[in-house]
Structure 1
Amino acid sequence: MTANAVVSPIPRQDSHEPTSDPVAIMVRYVRESWAVVEPYADRVAEFFYATLFSIAPATRELFPVNMQVQRSRLLRALVHVVQMVDRPDDLIPFLRQLGRDHRKFGVVASHYEAVGMALLAGVKQFARGAWTDEVERAWAEAYTIMARAMLESANADEGPAWWNGKVVERQRLNRDLAVVRVQPDFAVPYHPGQYVSVETPHRPRMWRYLTPATAPRDDGLLEFHVRAVDGGWVSRSIVSASEPGDMWRIGPPMGRLRVDRKAGRDVLMIAGGTGVAPMRSLVEHLSRWGENPKVHLFYGGRVRADLYDLETLQDVASTNPWLTVVPVLETESRVPGMERGTLADVVTRYGAWPDHEVLVSGSPPMVRSTVSRMLVAGTALDRITYDPFTVD
C-alpha cells in the first residue's frame, strides 16, 4: 500500500459528553491517542516502516528505492482514513476507490494484515502511557473497517489494475509548469473532476496523483497540468524530463468532485493554481449542454502567471452564460479585472453561498484555509466537497 500527500481533515468540534455509541467511543479513543503521538509523527513513520519491512519483507518491493519522500505518506494517509470512520458516507466510497487503485501494486490480504500490525505498533510505541487496551481495540477496529472495505472492492473489480499510456506532447509553460498530453492504449473510464495515479519511467514505484484537465474524449487523450513543487521528485521530473514516447502507467480513477446537472442547485467552484484542472474538466463537460446550473468559478494564484489557464476558461464563459469566472490574485494589485486577496478572503466576501454546491481544489493549505473560512461564514459542511489527496 502506498499513498501521496494528504489534506488534513478540517478541524471539527468533537463532543466530550458521555456516549454509549460504540463508533463514537472508538473515534474518540483514536483521535485522543493520535493527538499524543502526532508531535513524533516522523519517528512514528520510521518505526512503522521498519516494523512493516521486518514482519513482511515482501512489502519492501511495493515502495520506491528512495524512501525519503515516501516516509510519512502512508502513515498519514492511514491515520487520516482511520479518523474518518464516523463519516461512512464520505469514507466508504473513498475506500472502495482506494482499494481498486491499490491493485496496481499487487497488494494482497496478507499485506493489509502486516500494515495494520505495523500501524498499531508505531502508535503504541510513541503513545506510551496513553496506550490502553481500549485504545488498542479502537485502532484495531477502525483499521479493520478500512481494510475490509478496500479488500472487498479490490476483489470485486474486474477492470484492469492500470492502463499503459504514451506521452505524445510536453508543453513547457514556464520553468515550473508543464502541460503533458498522454495517449492511453485504451480509454481510461474517468468522470470529469476525478484524478488518477501515474507512474513515470523516471521515477519507478513513485506514483503521483494527477487530474485530467479535460473531459473524457472519444480518442481517450489525457491532458495533465503539472507544477514542479519543492521537494516533488515526481513532479519535477515530469516538468523537466518527460519526452514524447515515454510510457506511463495510469491507475484507476478516483475522487468525488462532480456536478449533478439534475440536482437543481447552482455550483461554486474554487480553484488554486493547478487545482483548476478538475474544474476545467467539469466546465468542459458541462459546455456540451445548452442549459446547466449556474457556475461561479473563483480561480486564484499568488501572481498573474499562476492563472495560466484563465484565457481558456474565459473563452468558455464567453459562449456559455451559465459560467462566471472570477480571477483572484494574492500579491499583484494593479492587474485590471482581478479580485485581490486569498481565495478564502474573496469567496467569503460574497457570503456563505447557502444554495450552492461547493467544490474546492488546490494545495493542502489553500483547501484547509478556504473550507475553514467558509464554515465560519456559515456554509454547511455537507455542501462542500474536496478530495483528500493532492500533489506530491
Structure 2
Amino acid sequence: MDSQAISLVKASFKAVAAVQDGPSTLARNFYALLFARHPEVRDFFPAAMDVQRERLITAIQYAIDRLEDSGQIILYLQQLGRDHRKYGVEDAHYVGVSEALIAAIAEFPSAEPWTDELEQAWRDVLALLSATMMDAANAESGPPAWGATVVEHLQVREDVSITRLQLDEPMDYLAGQYVSVQVPSRPRMWRYLSPANPANDQGIVEFHVRKVSGGWVSPAIVSQTLEGERWLLGSPLGDLKVRNDTDRDILMIGSGTGIAPLRAQILQMAQRGQSRRVHVFFAGRYPCDLYDLGTLWALAEQNPWLTVVPVTEEDEDPWWYRGPSSASLPGMHRRLTGKVGEVVADFGTWAERDIQLIGSESMVKTTKFRLHAAGTPPENIRHDPTY
C-alpha cells in the first residue's frame, strides 16, 4: 500500500481520537448513516449498540495501527471476514460500510481538513481491507455459524459457570483461539468466549464464563442457561497458540476465566506429548477465584513438564463468600500472595520463555509492564490483540 496514503489515514484517525469522545461520536455517526442508507443491515445488530460501537472503533484502530505490517493485518482481516459470515454479510455490504465510514469521517469536525487526496487515501485503504475480508469469507467452505446444544451447565460459583455443548458438526479451531457466541435469551448479542478444551472429533466444546456486573450476556449465560438450549457459534478467531517454530519453554499467566484458553492448550499438549517445560500462574483476587485449580493440578500430577502456581491478591476469601475455597492440594506449589505481575516478575526475567497473558485488560497491561521492567524481551510476550 502507498506509504503516503497510510500516513494520511493514520493522521486523519489520530485527529478523530484527539477530540473528546471523538471515536464514540464517529461510531454513532457511522451507524446512523449506514442504517439510513442500508436499512436491511440493521437486523444484523442488537437493539443496544454500545458494545458494537466499541468493537468497531477497536477494530479500526487495530487495523490502522498495523497497515505497514502486512502479515499481521492480513491474518486479522481474514479472520474478521470469516467471522462476519455469521451475519449473512455479502460483498455488497462491504461497499456500503466503506461509503458510510468515509462519509462519517468526512463530516467529522476535526483539525484535519477533508481533501480529495485524503478521501482517496481512505478509499484505497478501505478497499484493501474490504477485499481481504471478502476474499477470506468467499474462500471459506465451512458453515457461516455452528449450531450447538447445551449438554451440561455447572454453576461452580455464584458468578462463574462451566457450560459444555455438543456441536452439530465438529469445529476445527486451535487451542487458544476464541469464538463468538449467541445464546437464545440474548439474540443478536454476540460475545467472544474461549473454548477451555481443544477441538475434538466428538464436537464437544466447553466454555468458562464469569458474570460481568452490568453486562447483558454473561449474567444470562451464568444464571439462566438450561440443558437442551440451542446456541450459535461463529468462526474461530485469534492466533494465540503454542509456537512450533521454537523449542523455548513456555510461561502462561491466566487470571480468572482467562485460564480457559491456556487450559485448552495444556490439554492439547498433554494429548500430543510434550517435551518443553510449561510454567502456569493461575491468578485471582481471592482464593475462591481459582475455581479450576483442581483440574490444573491433576494435569500437573500426570505431566511432569507442567508446573502450576496459584496466586491471589488476598490471603482469605471475602466475608460474603460461603462456597468451597481453592485450597492448595498435597504436592502443589504453595499459593503466593500479591499482584500476579509483581509475583511473576519477582522470579526473574523469564527471558528464555515464550509467554502468554490472558485476563482483564488491566491485568494484561500491568503484567506486561512488570515483565518489561524486569528485563523480559517484549517480543516474547503474546496476548489478545485488543490490549
TM-score by length of 2: 0.88
2:110 match: secondary structure: helix
Residue 78 (1) aligns with residue 60 (2):
yes
Q: Quick check: 2:12–2:112 contact (8 Å CA) kept in 1?
A: no
Percent of counterpart pairs with the same letter?
Answer: 40
Structure 2 residue matching 1:179: 3-state secondary structure:
strand
Task: Supply the AA of the counterpart residue of 1:304.
Answer: P
**Aligned equivalent of 1:358:** 355
Whole-angstrom CA distance in 2 between matches of 1:64 and 1:165 = 21
Q: Structure 1 296/231 Cα, relative in aligned 2: closer, same or farther at 3 Å? A: same
Matched letter for residue 72 of structure 1: E
CA gap 1:54/1:87 in 2 versus in 1, 3 angstroms: same
Distance 2:215 2:204 in 1: 25
Q: CA deviation at 1:27?
A: 6.1
Q: Which residue of 2 aligns with 1:325?
A: 308
Aligned pairs for 1:345-384 (under 5 A) are: 345-384=342-381
1:85-124 CA deviation, whole Å, 9 max, x = no partner? 2232322112111111111111122222222233233334
Q: Which moved more, 1:269-278 or 1:57-66?
A: 57-66
Counterpart check, 1:62 vs 2:44: yes
Cα drift, residue 242 of structure 1: 0.9
How far apart, CA to CA, are the structure 2 residues paired with 1:273 and 1:244?
24
Question: Counterparts of 2:368 and 2:71 in 1: how far apart (Å)?
Answer: 19
Higher relative contact order (CA 8 A, sep 6+): 1
Q: 2 CA distance for matches of 1:375 and 1:110?
A: 45
Counterpart code for 1:121:
A
Secondary structure at the aligned position of 1:35 is classed as: helix
1:229 paired residue number: 212
Flag structure 1 segments of 5+ consecutive residues without an equivalent.
1-19
- Contact preservation (8 Å) 1:27, 1:83: no
> For residues 339 and 144 of structure 2, what CA distance do their matches in structure 1 show?
39
Q: How big is the shift at 1:39?
A: 3.1
Query: Runs of 5+ in structure 2 lacking a partner?
Result: 318-326, 329-333
Q: Read off the aligned partner of 1:198 and give its amino acid letter.
A: V
Inter-CA distance 387–30: structure 2 relative to 1 (3 Å threshold)? farther
- Partner deviation per Cα, 1:260-286 (whole Å, 9 max, x = no partner): 356211111111111100000000111
Q: Is the 8 A contact 1:30 1:83 kept in 2?
A: no
Structure 2 equivalent of residue 35 of structure 1: 17
- Of the structure 1 ranges 368-377 and 147-156, higher mean CA displacement relative to structure 2 is found in 368-377
Of 96, 105, 119, which residue of structure 1 is paired with 2:78? 96
CA shift for structure 1 position 135: 4.7
Partner-residue secondary structure (3-state), 1:287 = helix
Indicate the RMSD between aligned Cα atoms, in angstroms.
2.4
- Indicate conservation of the 8 Å contact 1:298/1:326, yes or no: yes
- The code of the aligned residue for 2:265 comes to L
What's the offset of the Cα at 1:140?
3.6
In the TM superposition, what whole-angstrom CA distance separates every residue of 1:122-171 from its partner, at most 9, and x where no partner exists? 33444422244355444444333322211110011111111111001110
The residue identity in structure 1 corresponding to 2:24 is: D
For residue 215 of structure 1, what is the aligned residue in structure 2? 198
Shift of 1:320: 1.2
Q: 8 Å contact 2:15–2:111 — kept in the other structure?
A: no
CA distance in structure 2 between the aligned counterparts of 1:148 and 1:296, rounded to whole angstroms: 41
- Asked if residue 190 in structure 1 is aligned to residue 169 in structure 2, the reply is no
Cα distance change of structure 1 residues 260 and 70 upon mapping to structure 2, 3 Å threshold: closer
